[in-house]
Structure 1
Amino acid sequence: MKRSKRPIRKAKCLVVCEGETEIKLVEMLKRISGSRRGWHLEDAHGGSPDKILKEAVIRFKRIKLNAEISEVFVVLDSEGEWKNEYDEFAKKNHLKLIINVPCSEAEFLRIKGVTFPEGSPPHELKSLIKTRYGKEPPNLWSDFTAADLSSICSCVPRYKSFVNFLCEE
């Protein structure tokens, strides 16, 4: 007997994340926003923005065969290497970018109200977080609640448009 392919659950958006820390960030935003929107979450397993954007297109093409996808979001860190060609590639391929500047750890510290020197390398920020909060990425985002949503969105406006999309019916 021939086995039929199990279709991917219908999703309204595909979210491709740079890595596990960004996945935990996106899961937290969905959890605290109370969103019931369907989605398909993918881990690009790190790399340069160029690699992650290309990976998002590949995954979208693979998934759209089995699921209804209306939007594709890519969550990644800029880490100081952002180029205009990345924006052009994203626009050409209908990808919506959520860029952490320079990294998701920096966004976490901004939300917590912690100041740090501009241009601090990500490894220093990770060390600061571990020292101050006793956490390592990707476990930064677990303690946030719905009460934190407005401050998160005001500290990092890029997250607000994503949350707004998640909460649309």
Structure 2
Amino acid sequence: MAGLEYFQGYSPEIRLQVQNLIETKRIGMVLKNRYKGEPIHQFNSDKLLFGYANSLKQKYFKNAPVLNKVQYDNKIHVMHNALGLHTAVTRVQGGKANAKIEIRIGNIFKRAPEPFLKMIVVHELAHIKEKTHNKAFYQLCTYMEPNYFQLEFDVRLFLVQIEIEGTPFFDS
């Protein structure tokens, strides 16, 4: 069934509940009820997004390397690829190694509730310290956003809702 690929790692019970939400076209309603008090974030430019991500980095990882670039990227195909990307490029110049850290966020999140954007930024920031999705990685995510796992689940629902209905829950 369309949309269930986002929930591959979840239990059969959860997948059945999601399937029921899809069949009854209630995903938008569930998300709308859960996030009715959350406005669409105002970080809709690359400059504002950079400031937002950098403030989170400063709050939680003061000694981590500097973020060189944070931007929205319309080339990230969220529905089939990733929500965001992180890169660390090391260049040697004059005997010194310089690392440039970049984060790219899918354009679809330019207009989304702020908790969804935060979840994605937190995820990409955690990759600065932990490269793989292991226990330590998810501990970093929940350190920065205690509600991380619920937000990750809800972002998956959000993607399914857009894929099936074509419009985000806050526009319906």
Per the TM superposition, whether the score is higher than 0.5 is no
**How does the TM-score come out when normalised to structure 1?**
0.29
**How does the TM-score come out when normalised to structure 2?**
0.28
